[in-house]
């Protein structure tokens, strides 16, 4: 007669992976900061990564490569005869010297910039987002906070969602280590395993979506216009 070790089988059973519902239970709302003049384009084309936006606007490949790998000390405006104008937001919180000293996996600052430009970023915590706005050097700009339903976005884009435990677009103060594993695909991990990737104490700081999000209006809850 064949016997089965039930205890052993149970211990080796894999934990369930993260689901859109679990992500939404941890962070019901997502926050994205943009410029008010960008809203018509976002409504029409979706919330696109810089790389996708450059492709949509038919920016020549040489210029596109430079814009995807450089540090932008100021906002850069691009223009298209059909699509109009769009703004590439500056990334001044990324100091190249500090970035070069906190990168793993043999990466260089240009490699990190390219990774960032392939993604759309959301704050998952309103308090952290508010602190960022207060510390920003762009208080006089016409900015808007777009508030999204997490569950709606997660269900529609789950395979492209990644989680990050740090502010990936900043090296201000003590720059956290970062590399190829910083952006972790949500569908490959359960929450406990994701936390253990960097020592077991991490919390989700950013949620990113590769490429971008279409049909924005079906996920959008409100737009908050900042004074």
Q: In sequence order, which ranges of the chain are alpha helices (DSSP H)?
A: 6-12, 20-26, 39-45, 50-56, 61-69, 96-100, 109-117, 126-135, 150-157, 191-196
What is the secondary structure of 125-177 as a DSSP string? -HHHHHHHHHH-S-TTS-EEEEEEEHHHHHHHHGGGEEEESS-TT---SSPPP
This prediction's pTM? 0.88
Q: Which domain holds residue 49?
A: 16-225
**CA gap 104, 109 in Å, rounded:** 11
Look-up of token digits 């809203």: 39
Q: Count CB-CB contacts under 10 A for residue 15.
A: 10
Question: Is 1 inside a domain boundary?
Answer: no
Q: pLDDT for 47-79, tens place per residue? A: 999 999 999 999 999 999 999 999 999 999 999
Output the CA torsion 162→167→170→175 (10° steps).
-110
Q: Would you say residue 128 lies in a domain?
A: yes
| pLDDT of res. 61 | 94
In a domain, 141, yes or no: yes
Q: Give pLDDT, residue 67.
A: 96
What is 53-66 written as a DSSP string? HHHHTT--HHHHHH
Distances (CA, A) of 182 to 163, 210, 213: 8, 14, 21
Does 172 map to a domain? yes
Which helix (H) or strand (E) segment is 120 a member of? strand 119-123
Rounded-to-integer distance, Cα 35 and Cα 140, Å:
11
Q: CA-to-CA distance for 141 and 159, rounded, in angstroms?
A: 34
Q: Residue 140: inside a domain, yes or no?
A: yes
Give the chain's domain count. Answer: 1
Q: What pLDDT is attached to residue 196? A: 82
| Residue-level pLDDT at 9 | 39
Q: What is the pLDDT along the chain (227 residues), one digit of tens a residue?
A: 444 343 433 344 455 789 999 999 999 999 999 988 889 889 989 999 999 999 999 999 999 999 999 999 999 999 999 998 888 999 999 999 999 999 999 999 999 999 999 999 999 999 999 988 887 666 567 889 999 999 999 999 999 999 999 999 999 888 999 999 999 999 998 888 888 876 666 789 999 999 999 899 999 999 999 87
Q: Which two tokens stand for residue 182?
A: 């910083």
Q: Is residue 35 part of a domain?
A: yes
What span, in angstroms and rounded, lies between the C-alpha atoms of 61 and 65? Answer: 6
Query: Does residue 3 lie within any of the structural domains?
Result: no
For the chain, how far is it from start to end, CA to CA, in angstroms? 76
Quickly count: other Cβ atoms within 10 Å of residue 44's Cβ.
Answer: 10
Q: Sign of the CA dihedral 56, 62, 63, 65?
A: positive
Question: Does residue 23 belong to any structural domain of this protein?
Answer: yes
In a 10 Å sphere around its CB, with 0-12 CB exposed, 13-18 middle and 19+ buried, how is residue 3 labelled? exposed
């Amino acid at each position: 007669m064949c016997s089965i070790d039930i205890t052993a089988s149970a211990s080796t059973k894999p934990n369930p992976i993260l689901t859109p519902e679990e992500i939404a239970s941890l962070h019901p709302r997502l926050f994205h900061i943009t410029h008010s003049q960008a809203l018509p384009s976002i409504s029409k084309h979706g919330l696109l990564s810089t790389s996708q936006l450059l492709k949509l606007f038919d920016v020549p490949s040489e210029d596109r490569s430079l814009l995807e790998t450089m540090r932008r000390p100021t906002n850069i405006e691009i223009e298209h005869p059909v699509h109009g104008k769009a703004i590439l937001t500056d990334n001044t919180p990324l100091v190249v010297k500090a970035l070069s000293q906190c990168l793993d996996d043999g990466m260089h600052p240009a490699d990190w910039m390219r990774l960032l430009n392939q993604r759309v970023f959301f704050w998952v915590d309103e308090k952290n987002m508010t602190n960022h706005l207060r510390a920003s050097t762009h208080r006089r700009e016409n900015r808007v906070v777009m508030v999204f339903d997490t569950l709606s976005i997660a269900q529609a884009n789950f395979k492209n969602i990644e989680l990050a435990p740090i502010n990936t677009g900043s090296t201000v103060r003590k720059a956290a280590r970062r590399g190829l594993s910083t952006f972790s695909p949500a569908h490959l991990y359960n929450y406990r395993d994701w936390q253990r990737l960097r020592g077991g104490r991490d919390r989700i700081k950013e949620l990113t979506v590769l490429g971008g999000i279409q049909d924005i209006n079906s996920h959008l809850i409100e737009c908050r216009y900042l004074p």
